[in-house]
């Protein structure tokens, strides 16, 4: 029994290290490309003399150079599938509410088996049913890249400047 617990604790620590490494890469890649990155700190509260963790709605608020805002949670998975059971209900609730109001909101997931990173908006995550999963090939076009090419474009659609005369009449 002790050996099983030790194995789980080692696997949990390995997963935590992978998650922290991916978050550092994600943050660096976006900062380098001019995106403002705001990280939610881990939440905690004092209850009866103990410090207990409090769930946070998501990991990141991102603002690109055009003023677009995205609400993102980063995830990693050892394989090439991210299952329904891995979606955190309170995060999905908050991200989906923002998504239905027109915000860019969802998960950026590192699939370690294929070493690819994909963005799934909260609408895709909300449509996921028990025993279903998402893989990098399920991401919308342009929303999956090799980890080495991580860039803001997987979250923010490319900015297309207006062409032609201004819609605002001038005198």
Q: Give me the CATH number covering residue 30.
A: 3.40.1350.10
Indicate the pTM of the whole model: 0.82
Q: Is 165 within the bounds of a domain? A: no
The CA-to-CA distance between both ends of the chain, in Å, stands at 81
Q: Is 89 within the bounds of a domain? A: yes
- pLDDT (tens digit, 0 to 9) for every residue of the chain, 171 residues total? 555 555 556 666 777 888 899 999 999 999 999 999 999 887 777 888 888 888 888 999 999 988 999 999 999 999 999 999 999 999 999 999 999 999 999 999 999 999 999 999 999 999 999 999 999 999 988 899 999 998 898 898 775 554 545 445 444
- 81-94 residue pLDDT tens: 999 999 999 999 99
Cβ atoms of residues 79 and 136 within 8 Å: no
Q: Is 2 within the bounds of a domain? A: no
């Amino acid at each position: 029994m002790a050996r099983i617990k030790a194995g789980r604790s080692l696997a949990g620590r390995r997963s935590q290290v992978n998650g922290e490494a991916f978050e550092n890469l994600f943050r660096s890649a976006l900062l380098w490309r001019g995106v403002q990155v705001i990280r939610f700190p881990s939440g905690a509260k004092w209850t009866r003399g103990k410090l207990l963790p409090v769930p946070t709605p998501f990991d990141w608020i991102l603002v690109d150079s055009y003023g677009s805002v995205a609400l993102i949670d980063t995830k990693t998975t050892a394989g090439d599938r991210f299952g329904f059971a891995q979606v955190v209900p309170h995060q999905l609730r908050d991200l989906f509410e923002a998504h239905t109001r027109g915000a860019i909101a969802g998960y950026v997931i590192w699939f370690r088996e294929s070493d690819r990173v994909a963005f799934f908006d909260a609408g895709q995550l909300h449509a996921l049913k028990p025993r279903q999963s998402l893989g990098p090939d399920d991401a919308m076009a342009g929303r999956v890249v090799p980890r080495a090419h991580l860039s803001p474009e997987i979250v923010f659609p490319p900015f297309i400047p207006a062409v032609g005369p201004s819609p605002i009449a001038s005198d």
